[in-house]
Amino acid sequence: MAIESLIVVNGQSVDSLKYLLNKYTLKEDINKFNLLYEIAAKSTDSDTIFKYSEQAIKLAEKLKKNPAQPIILKGSVYLYSGKLASALDCFVKAANYYREDQNNVGIGIAYIYISEVYNQQENTYNAKYYLKNAIEIFRKEKDSISLAAAYHNLGYVNYHTGQYDTALVLYSKTSEIYRKLGFITEYATCLGNSGLVYSRLSEFQKAEDHLLRAIEILSRQPDPGDERANTEFMIEYAGILQRKGEIKKAISSAKESYGKAVRNRLLEFERDAANSLAVLYQVSGKYDSAYHYLSIYINANDSIRNFKNIQKMADLRTEYEVAKKQTEVDVLEKNKLTQLFVIIGLGIILILAIGIILLYYYSLKRSKRLSAALDERRILLENQSLELKDQREKLRQQKEEIISSINYAKYIQSSIFPKEEQLESLLGEHFVLFKPKDIVSGDFYWISNIEDKTVITAADCTGHGVPGAFMSMLGTALLNEIVNKEYITHPGVILKHLRKEVIKSLQQKGERGEQKDGMDIALCTLDLENMKLQFAGANNPLYLIRKSSLVEVGKLRCEMGGDDVLYEIKGDMMPIGISDRMDNFTFHEIDIFKGDTFYLFSDGFPDQFGGQDCKKFGYRKFREQLVRNNSKTMADNKNILEKVLYEWMGNDNQIDDILVIGFRIG
């Protein structure tokens, strides 16, 4: 998964900058420092980046200038070659230099790189910690480009921790920003990273489409582009080709990515590409090649965890080169001796024949040894193949068990939701539009009748999927206790009790860094006998559509030129859960009339991305849609909303749970 770099330098090409540096004898001043830094920043070769950033650091120390920028470049070389301790040392130094200069944006940039070091160490807690600090800095400084890069990398961390839906949303947002800004390389990186996420979600066609577009864009850049990102995307693409049975194309893609990884010293991807090639050659029955790349994979994997192996491999390579040269010398000597034997005559031919026979005998023995070794390798690969198949089968079974458990959780969650008959008897003409993003939902709705008063609520819990579902079941259970057992129908009091019990259940203390789980709720109590409706909200409002000739309520938010107008009764800007504001919830009481239509909802519908520009549907358009359809039955309203939502989304994915409840006073 590729992260975003924030170092961008405009100007001349690297070759012309090197020419200037070599042709003229430059003073040891700020101009030479800038030239050295620009060469390092614009280079794609890791050796060049390291060389010129090191020179820039030394010159900055002489000039007593802040060396943070070249230090970050030097650290990036360590980072992408797998030397994480050295990389972290560089990035921490850079952050301290920026702090001395009170350069907040610089500190944020250093934090992004520090988070990537921790992410590669699989320390996701520290990775998220530094990214969140960077995001806070960029927000305060109003640096939208740096903020986009930080959000992109937060998507990367979410991908790394298996939170694929969140990662896709973040990549979608940042890719759109980069596309509008004309940042082609960054845009392609977002596309490719989305492809990696789709691959993990087993949506292989989408994964292939995104990866191919990213590879194509990065490959046609004037400079080589982001070689690290391109290498990773080609490795993933090879895996998709293997899954499709296109083994030759998969080998070609994996080989090309392996060459890029070796050329750019990307040890992590050299390992992954070698592993892919070992599997592909094993599937093809080419066990020698499979063993060759398996050895490379093992060595690379060991090197990532133990840097002492790097020196050992260098020593082995030196021995190999020496042996190779010695062999060449031996061959030349043999040729000279052969010429001498021919000149000497037939007598020496007899000796040569004996030598050939001995050589043949030696070669035969060596061939047998090689054959035995190959048999051992073949058996090893076959055993490893069986182990891999066994692991894949175990993973498949685990996945089926997890999905089965989640489906059963859906059954449990559905069973606690109000039944249609209950809704019909208590609300009359109504509809419920409920579309979970995943199998289970973080949105929920609840209704009860106490002392001739009907309490109804629509809630949006933190998160969606399984975590959100747990919160929704907690909310349902607590509402049953507060309303049905304690006979409380006052909306403000209900929300106050609910907040207290949620904080108690989640053991929230309000400490720094604590997860602020909770829920946003719109809750109302309907008293049809006295024609009153009471309302209180936590972050969520209540919409009322009525004839313009009737009493005004709340804030007028939409009128379409007809008799119907929409009023918004706002909830308080604080959640059900621990927060900075812990006031009592505001109580609203409304006189209701026949034909009044009320809507409670979560933010899923207005926040859904779609349309030609891939933007949010928005609350204004949502309100206009409700007013436009008010003359129709509630059942028709639901069908129209579903159709509008479907057409708006097009090929885009649903990003959140969707809940809309509407009821009309009869």
Half-sphere exposure of 184 (CA within 13 A, CB side): 12
Please, are residues 84 and 121 in contact by the beta-carbon 8 Å criterion? yes
Cα 499–chain centre separation: 32
- Average confidence (pLDDT) over 30-58: 85
What CA–CA distance (Å, rounded) separates 161 from 152? Answer: 15
CB count, 10 Å around CB of 340? 10
Please, are residues 450 and 484 in contact by the beta-carbon 8 Å criterion? yes
Q: Which helix (H) or strand (E) segment is 23 a member of?
A: helix 14-23
Beta-ladder partners of 523: 457, 536
Q: Is residue 226 scored above 70 in pLDDT? A: no
Q: Is residue 478 scored above 80 in pLDDT? A: yes
What CA–CA distance (Å, rounded) separates 537 from 517? Answer: 17
- Average confidence (pLDDT) over 297-326: 50
- Is pTM beyond 0.95? Reply is no
What CA–CA distance (Å, rounded) separates 660 from 647? Answer: 17
What CA–CA distance (Å, rounded) separates 110 from 114? Answer: 6
Q: Is residue 574 scored above 80 in pLDDT? A: yes
CATH topology of domain 1-148: 1.25.40
Q: What is the CA angle 511-512-517, rounded to 5? A: 70
Mean pLDDT over the full length of the chain? 83
- Confidence category of residue 223, pLDDT binned at 50, 70, 90: low
Q: Which helix (H) or strand (E) segment is 537 a member of?
A: strand 532-538
Torsion sign (Cα): 381, 383, 388, 393: positive
DSSP code, position 357: H
Look at residue 8 in the predicted model and tell me its pLDDT: 36
Look at residue 337 in the predicted model and tell me its pLDDT: 53
What are 256-301's pLDDT values in tens digits? 889 988 888 888 888 998 888 988 888 888 878 877 888 888 888 8
Query: What is the CATH code for 420-664?
Result: 3.60.40.10
Lowest mean pLDDT among 386-395, 473-482, 523-532, 584-593: 386-395
- Percent of the chain whose pLDDT exceeds 90: 33
Look at residue 637 in the predicted model and tell me its pLDDT: 94
What are residue 513's phi and psi, to 5 degrees? 85, -5
Look at residue 424 in the predicted model and tell me its pLDDT: 94
Instruction: Identify the burial level of 300 via C-beta atoms within 10 angstroms of its C-beta, where 0-12 means exposed, 13-18 middle and 19 or more buried.
Output: buried
- 473: which 2 tokens? 């079941």
By DSSP bridging, strand 658-664 and strand 597-601 are antiparallel
Beta-ladder partners of 43: none
Could you list the beta-strand ranges (E) of 179-268: none
